[in-house]
Structure 1
Amino acid sequence: MDKQKELEVKRFMAAKIAEGVNLSDVQKLVNQEFGLKLTYMDVRILASELDNIDWDANDPKAQELAKEKARAEAEKKRQEEEGIEPEVEATPGDGRTVVEVSKLVRPGTALSGTVKFASGSTADWYVDSYGRLGIENLQGDKPTESDIMAFQDELKKALGQ
């Protein structure tokens, strides 16, 4: 395809993408309009070279994320204006228990992850196939009873319970 025809195809594609047409349909339209036999991969490569395309404009997930971000920023601004202390994310070592759930399931477990106790100790945690909670690889002092209770509460929050 010569440069002039490629430029025409890219302009056509940019217009169709801006209208919300997906790449599969753009491929069909380009092949019909210009009498070409472009593969889907050819269309993707050409589309990747387009400038000033808002790829998230027609993506419902991206739009929802943008709305959530805008709401969070508006709430943060409102809290600042009213003098309300915003809720701070817990960071390791700040005196709060931090629980992380691993995306990869370890063999022999149903769930697993790590915990940083308020006292500063760290450990790996797991839930086995029988639903039993366990802690291993403890680094630091033995967690206190309040550490364990805070861990269980944070784990419930992390798991949406």
Structure 2
Amino acid sequence: MFSASKLTEDQKAALHQWAAAGASIADLQKRLKDDFGIGITYMDARFLVLDLGIELVEAPKDEKKAEPEETLAKPLPTGAVTVEIDNIALPGALVSGKVTFSDGETGIWMLDQYGRPGLDPDTPGYRPVQEDIVEFQKQLAELVRKQGL
């Protein structure tokens, strides 16, 4: 386990500065490796953030960045939403499967024993558009009904 006491004051200050500029834990981990040659695990980076009292903030969004994000929020559909069910459910799941959204993004879904849904997109941070969510829910309900669950 990596300890914050192994860092110099300059390295600690750099971590605070990077975090204030909007760096995520993964970004801090990468910058430590790239800038200082300190390779640590993601979990160690999380503990380091806690130990040093680093506050993670979202990077400020300027107007130029807002326009492309709005475009990305409503991608043009390239196909239909497809939902598949696994023959063997994931551990801890009552039922699970795969989904492909209209923009081509994919992910793994599951329902636990209490009927609570979970979605793990293949692209970190991906959020499907509302229309895709509605279609996914419809197809999922139909699949679950056919399975008799």
TM-score (norm 2): 0.42
TM-score (norm 1): 0.39
**Which structure has the bigger radius of gyration?**
1
